[in-house]
Amino acid sequence: MKRPVVAVLVVIGALIAVLVWWNSRATAVDSSPEQTASAPDSGTAPNDVRGATAKTTAPMSTDAGMPEARTGPGTELARFGWGSGDGNLGRSRPDEANPEAPMSLTVDALGNVWILDQVNGRLVKLDKNGKPIGTVPLSVQGAQDVVVTPDGTALVMDRLIDKSIAVIGPDGKPRGEIPIVGKGLEEGGASTGVFTDGDSVYVEREHGDAVRIGSTNGTADKERPEVPGRPAQDGKTFLTANMVNGPAGVVMVTAIDRPSQAHRFTRTLTLGTPVIGLNALDADQTGIIYLGTITELAASTPEVPVFGITLLCLDPLDGRPVGMTQIPANSSPEETFRELTVLPEGGVLFLERTEQGPRVVRYGCGGP
């Protein structure tokens, strides 16, 4: 009589082992970096690496804690009214289309600020003190992003209508347009930002690799080689960032050395508050990496969500957080593409929208 009992016990033990194994396997799948949160549409466009899926298999470092956040009003660099004249930037709120405000801003090597005022069909240029010093007309219909090379050449991206990068020389005259669609980019809508590295013009593909589509003299690159991320201002790094688990506030940053294209680090960061999107990723000239995250604040309720921007500064060698700043998020409905830009000397400029008009505000990053 003992043998049937023993057999039954063996079967039960085997079933328990299978259930334990299956439960551990399911738990591992649920916590995989491939499981990303869906982010609500809050009017910020794809350059902001919103909702990009983590796809790296490189070794990762993890941070459970964050440095103490620095808060403050920032330093106003310039203020505008809404309109089309001097001292104004355009805003459009049509009944049957997306509302728009200035799509993007960037800073050149001399510290001049360039604002993409696509509603008025122009670039607005300010000196490093915020004083207006001129405008440049646009040659594309659906401009969404802009970057400026060290010699003052402006590259303006239209990914949806003309599907090209307009090259505008330092004299304000068009040098030509480089097609976006081609090898490595089958759709203009897959473009999530324009970047420059020396005389190269790159377009980022879906928050990941970047495709060299041409040179700053307006010549298209027939070969269209790829690099593993967006080139940062320090001249040494390719960067990518992803949301790993939005509701849990977990994001990931990967840095690749530009000369060797060797993996430098991949670091996961836990913010402790829900993250609905990312809106900045770059390094200053010293190599400090800046990651802007759009977060849901503790004051939120299901009926009235409240959002802010948490700006993280990361060590260039290992991605360790070295500072954090809280910035009030834009709450108006206008579509934008790049509302935060990293300054070469450190810190960021934020294009804040108010009912009275937009402001350009400078913020630093807390910590040493």
For 181-245, the DSSP string reads -BTTBS-GGGEEEEEEETTEEEEEETTS-EEEEEETTS-B-SS--EESSEEPTTSSEEEEEEEEE
Q: Which of 69, 184, 147 is nearest to 338 (CA)?
A: 147
What percent of the chain has a predicted confidence (pLDDT) above 70?
A: 82
Tens digits of residue pLDDT in 207-263: 999 999 999 999 999 999 999 999 999 999 999 999 999 999 999 999 999 999 999
Which of 54-58, 70-74, 164-168 has the highest average model confidence (pLDDT)? 164-168
Tens digits of residue pLDDT in 300-356: 677 788 899 999 999 999 999 999 999 999 989 998 899 999 999 999 999 999 999
Element (H, E) at 26: helix 2-30
DSSP string, 170-194: TTS-EEEEEE--BTTBS-GGGEEEE
Res. 47: pLDDT tops 90: no
Tens digits of residue pLDDT in 187-202: 999 999 999 999 999 9
Residue 61, pLDDT score: 54
Question: How many residues in the chain?
Answer: 368
Residue 98, pLDDT score: 87
Provide the whole-model pTM: 0.83
Q: What angle do CA 71, 207, 44 make, to 5 degrees?
A: 50
Of residues 93 and 60, more confidently modeled: 93
Q: What are phi and psi of 215, to 5 degrees?
A: -120, 165
Residue 65, pLDDT score: 63
**DSSP3 helix / strand / coil % (the chain, rounded to 5):** 10, 45, 45
132 three-class SS:
strand
Count CB neighbours of 234 within 10 A. 19
Interatomic CA distance for residues 47 and 143, integer angstroms: 13
Q: What angle do CA 335, 215, 178 make, to 5 degrees?
A: 50
Residue 303, pLDDT score: 75
Domains of the chain, with CATH numbers? 35-363 (2.120.10.30)
Residue 317, pLDDT score: 97
Mean per-residue pLDDT for 136-163? 96
Residue 56, pLDDT score: 38
Whether 287 and 308 have beta carbons less than 8 Å apart is answered as no
Residue 302, pLDDT score: 72
